[in-house]
Amino acid sequence: MDGNGACKQCPREMETIHVLRDCRVSRDIWNLLRSDLQDTFFFSLPLRERLKENAYESKDGYWKTLFVVTCWRIWTRRCRVVFNEDVDEEKDVGLLRNIRLTTMIVVSALSGAGGLIRAADGKWLMGFQACLGFCSNNVAKMQALRLGLLLAWGLGFRDVQCSVDSKVVVDLIADADQRFNPHGNLIEDVRASIRI
């Protein structure tokens, strides 16, 4: 928004609904994602009803996610324009790809694990990440712990402290009976990594 309250992406007055629905840029993005939207009330619903109908009440899980991700990307694109970052049509092609990819990852519930290794003085030494496919958040956190420990041992560190932001995972590793837990092998792997 400039000093007169006008949209910086097109010559219209600026409102949230303008950025998310009426702006030429957002209309182009919505129409490229779904060409059938022109035949619905999508471009006429007020902001609250539009969010309610698409983000909460839609029975189509893929569309619900695509809608929310697209709103977020359109809003952050508008923020980049306002703060004079370089945004152009070519980058919008990347934006569409990013919206579809993010939606697919969220809908398919693909999981990843990651972490970082720091020296005793807090200095960053290395980071790591891995794609895990389909698994729960607790499994992802245990896999991250296991990967981090294996990397630390491989780098020759023997005095290692771990930080995990999940009490559930800490309790599983400390107390779970791995014989009766569906992730018993992984829990035992983490314990073995700690004992190395």
| Residues at the interface with Zn ion (CB under 5 A) | 7, 9-10, 12, 23
Nearer to Zn ion by C-beta: 82 or 130?
A: 82
Nearer to Zn ion by C-beta: 9 or 103?
A: 9
Shortest gap between Cβ of 81 and Zn ion (angstroms)?
9
Nearer to Zn ion by C-beta: 20 or 23?
A: 23
CB 103 within 8 A of CB 65: yes
Nearer to Zn ion by C-beta: 72 or 153?
A: 72
Shortest gap between Cβ of 76 and Zn ion (angstroms)?
15
Shortest gap between Cβ of 43 and Zn ion (angstroms)?
14
Shortest gap between Cβ of 23 and Zn ion (angstroms)?
3
